[in-house]
Structure 1
Amino acid sequence: MEVRRLLQSFRYAIEGVGYALRTQRNMRIHSAVAVVVVGLGYCLRLTRTEWVAIIFAVALVLVMEMVNTAIEKTIDLVTSKHHPLAKIAKNVAAGAVLVAAANAVVIGLLVFSPYLNEVRR
């Protein structure tokens, strides 16, 4: 019985990821960029430490995008009116995604720039 509940919770989680990918343009953009970044990392043979930084940065962006979606949908469920507090909550959630994405860009530059500088020489 316990295993069945565990498997069901995984199904719900996978449905959530699928929903975000199907309905959220930015989630698809971030996912596409993640695929490119992972491919580039593979081609450049990143070190284990570099992989940790890249994977953490990519995962943080994707997680924040899904949290942003959850917050937006919850607010939409609670009210259809344009309430100042709803606007603040949505803007702060979107800002969290922006901070995570900026962090990922900085980490990407720190990790990839030595390799790309080497290629240019």
Structure 2
Amino acid sequence: MDNDKFSFSKRLKSFRYAWNGLRIMLREEHNSRIHFSIAVLTTILGFSFGLNRYEWIAVIFCMGLVFICELFNSALEALVDFVSEERQPLLKKVKDLAAAAVLLSAITAFIVGLLIFIPKLSTFF
């Protein structure tokens, strides 16, 4: 248990670690760049089609969900690779389950995107 008193400078330092984690994700994890590109495109489309508050909430929540899953997947993969360089069935299972979380979150985001943008596209054409 940490008995140190609250320190504003330590809290700021913890934010630096978190921002570093985001930088690592975008620099080293190729799939996160794809997710980021899609998030930027979705944001541009959202502004173009004038999403309402509730549509923005759904879109932002889905983007966050995908990035959170990607971060946990990347962290678990790094931990598994650190624990063992050998191929082990249980460690493969951990990696596959984490990857499935990313896939499921991306599919969910895609479906939400379809539900929001298809009606807007249909009125556009």
TM-score, L = length of structure 2: 0.94
Using the TM superposition, give the Cα deviation of residue 47 of structure 1 relative to its aligned residue in structure 2, in angstroms.
0.4
* Residue 107 of structure 1 pairs with residue 109 of structure 2: no
CA RMSD after TM alignment: 0.7
**How many corresponding residue pairs?**
120
* Residue 117 of structure 1 pairs with residue 118 of structure 2: no
Structure 1 residues 98-121: Cα deviation after superposition (integer angstroms, max 9, x where no partner): 00000000000001111000011x
Task: Write the distance in 2 (CA, Å) between the matches of 1:59 and 1:38.
Answer: 13
Task: Write the distance in 1 (CA, Å) between the matches of 2:113 and 2:73.
Answer: 22
What is the DSSP-based 3-state SS (H/G/I as helix, E as strand, rest coil) of the residue aligned with 1:81? Answer: coil
TM superposition outliers: structure 1 runs of 4+ over 2 Å: none
Q: Show the counterpart of 1:40.
A: 45
Query: How many percent of aligned residue pairs carry the same amino acid?
Result: 41
Structure 1 residues 43-91: Cα deviation after superposition (integer angstroms, max 9, x where no partner): 1110000000000011100110111000000001111110000000000
In structure 2, runs of 5+ residues without a counterpart are 1-5
Q: Show the counterpart of 1:73.
A: 78
Q: Show the counterpart of 1:56.
A: 61
In structure 1, runs of 5+ residues without a counterpart are none
Structure 1 or 2: more helix by fraction = 1
